[in-house]
Structure 1
């Protein structure tokens, strides 16, 4: 791997050429380990801080490479892939609200009826997003430190609002003065991978999933999507699935028929579409037979930065309802595998009364979900 390290060191020093973000995946685990050993040996002799990041979960590197350049690799031992941009899956921001108590979506999925049996206690929920508002009173009892992948020395503080909204729906616990989420005693671990504009790169997402696996997170909310397929992201999602970590992902908000976003499109994740108050599929939802379940996603009130509450719409909001439901399920039936959780969600889904949803997908119903889990698992 010395030749690869020579090439990469030279590429990083090529300031006269325009660089683009790439992911280099090693197809042989031994090659990956050998490269890292060689690279660590060189670090003391490299003048400036290196932008090379190791993506251990998928045996890859994320780094800037001069355009048109490629690693000198024999055969297919190293695969070079664009480090694509990813966007959070929320529609334009709605209005600030003074709503309090239990939002309509939390009621619709019958979460309150389950709280006498399960509240999500001891379940660790990863939220890969824009961070959270650590000062929000609705989240005071729900938040753990998490990680800021953009600035490692800082808390994953939300500078956008999207991540706080997602965390509120999952696990807010302030019924009398604020709002209640689906699983009010679950622990939310925010992973800040997205900047204040709601943009991240695939490598940031992979690092976030890697962190969740290493820190024994039970379920991960990924309220974002991309239209292009990334093998690196697939490998990370599949790696989490094999490790017992379920990923819940949004189908996207482009109103497309027969096509949904990645990573929801990967069969190892739970793909979520949105419904409105009437139980109809929301017009903005991407839909296809690959959707596993629908949940409330239109005009959802939840926590917002600076201690406020805001109404938002999008498959992001639907996804957070499903993630909260999974936290309730895992607290009620610990030890369920990702495959079992996905099967329970699909088996217990309530048939949609309206629209043209694929017959395989229905609406999230927590009472039915717990009944199926108790009866069959």
Structure 2
């Protein structure tokens, strides 16, 4: 008998001056990271050069970490002191400045096998759930009408172990986050639910690794990952983006990125959060995003899942078998819980619809109209009582 070990995770030249820009962040923070955006009438390359030329004059020299190309008109700076921040505040070309802070990762727990197990000995009840109406029906079955072939699922997360034997179609976008994938297994777990060979929702989709985190993710790195996706997406690319990190802060830069990706035809899916409340958590709360809560095998919302009017739909999110990350990447699985793993079910279904020819503008409505309604028995009022379903 395989012994399971429970590991709990955290439930993630001279320029005319002008008056300081109003910011949500305290000006007294020192050596923090910031997203600095410029007014649209100022050239990005020239303005960035003007800013960087000032760095040697500061006692603490900031680092230019990234120049955004599409999602915002600006740059990411690392190690900004109060002196540098005060100077930036006064420049006429500044639109807004946002402090980069850490986001929450929405996995509650995992159960890891102590030794490799045969895939044939396990099944993902979540897949059975999303193609049965009503549920449960005797026997296990998952036979959707498509598999997401021809669609890119962008996993904005902690990295994917591409050589895992459950993955056959993984590419990566370079984001500058260079820590080892082994720092955190979260991205591999999310990718497995979305598109693993045995346990994935859209088994034919291409997984795109957009690594934005090591042990935690930050605003500037998430924005960088989203910018890389916007650059990668062309008219010929069918695009699904899944994000399993949340924050209570409504960042203008991230909201801008959501709008840009939505306008590029991307379906954006995000975990609703594991705080067990109805507060607004971003990016799930943005109108361009499908916000996903969790449901268990008994058609109930688990206590950790967020709810309320901004949660669009619920998907399996407890005790889900998926791919684990390890040195050999052979025959390794893990059982996971959290809205982090409900979101990739929806991302996979979105990929299936896109692969079958549903237009990007109609995918959201298709998912909502296909959903099983009024089946969640303990959902608080003012919530959308929908469970993901794919035929």
TM-score by length of 2: 0.79
Residue 354 of structure 2 is aligned to residue 341 of structure 1: no
Secondary structure, aligned partner of 2:199: coil
Q: Which residue, 336, 355, 366 being the options, matches 2:378?
A: 355
Q: How does 1:13-162 map to 2 (within 5 A)?
A: 18-36=30-48, 38=50, 50-56=63-69, 57-63=71-77, 64-67=79-82, 69-70=85-86, 71-73=88-90, 77-96=94-113, 98=117, 100-101=119-120, 102-110=123-131, 113-115=142-144, 117-139=145-167, 141-151=168-178, 157-162=181-186
**C-alpha distance after superposition, 1:111-142 (max 9, x if no partner):** 96544x31111101100111011221111x13
State how far apart, in whole Å, the 2-side matches of 1:59 and 1:275 are: 39
RMSD (Å), alpha carbons: 3.0
Q: Which residue, 164, 171, 184 being the options, matches 2:188?
A: 164
CA apart distance, 1:320: 0.8
Secondary structure, aligned partner of 1:94: strand
CA apart distance, 1:334: 4.9
Change (3 A) 1:118 1:4: farther
Change (3 A) 1:238 1:248: same
For structure 2, the residue ranges without an aligned partner over 5 or more in a row are 1-12, 18-28, 133-140
Q: How does 1:303-342 map to 2 (within 5 A)?
A: 303-306=323-326, 307=329, 308-337=332-361, 340-342=362-364
CA apart distance, 1:99: 6.6
Q: Is 1:249–1:271's contact at 8 Å kept on the other side of the alignment?
A: yes
Secondary structure, aligned partner of 1:53: strand
Residue 322 of structure 2 is aligned to residue 298 of structure 1: no
State how far apart, in whole Å, the 2-side matches of 1:109 and 1:326 are: 13
Q: How does 1:183-202 map to 2 (within 5 A)?
A: 183-195=202-214, 197=215, 199-202=216-219
State how far apart, in whole Å, the 2-side matches of 1:40 and 1:228 are: 28
State how far apart, in whole Å, the 2-side matches of 1:60 and 1:263 are: 20
State how far apart, in whole Å, the 2-side matches of 1:31 and 1:190 are: 31
Secondary structure, aligned partner of 1:249: strand
Q: Which residue of 2 aligns with 1:14?
A: none
Secondary structure, aligned partner of 1:134: coil
Q: Is 2:38–2:44's contact at 8 Å kept on the other side of the alignment?
A: yes
Q: Is 1:260–1:286's contact at 8 Å kept on the other side of the alignment?
A: no
Residue 234 of structure 2 is aligned to residue 234 of structure 1: no
For structure 1, the residue ranges without an aligned partner over 5 or more in a row are 6-16, 174-178, 368-377
Secondary structure, aligned partner of 2:217: strand
State how far apart, in whole Å, the 1-side matches of 2:104 and 2:200 are: 24
How many pairs are equivalent?
341
**C-alpha distance after superposition, 1:164-219 (max 9, x if no partner):** 1111111111xxxxx33111110001111110x2x111111111111111112601
Change (3 A) 1:359 1:49: closer
State how far apart, in whole Å, the 1-side matches of 2:34 and 2:62 are: 18
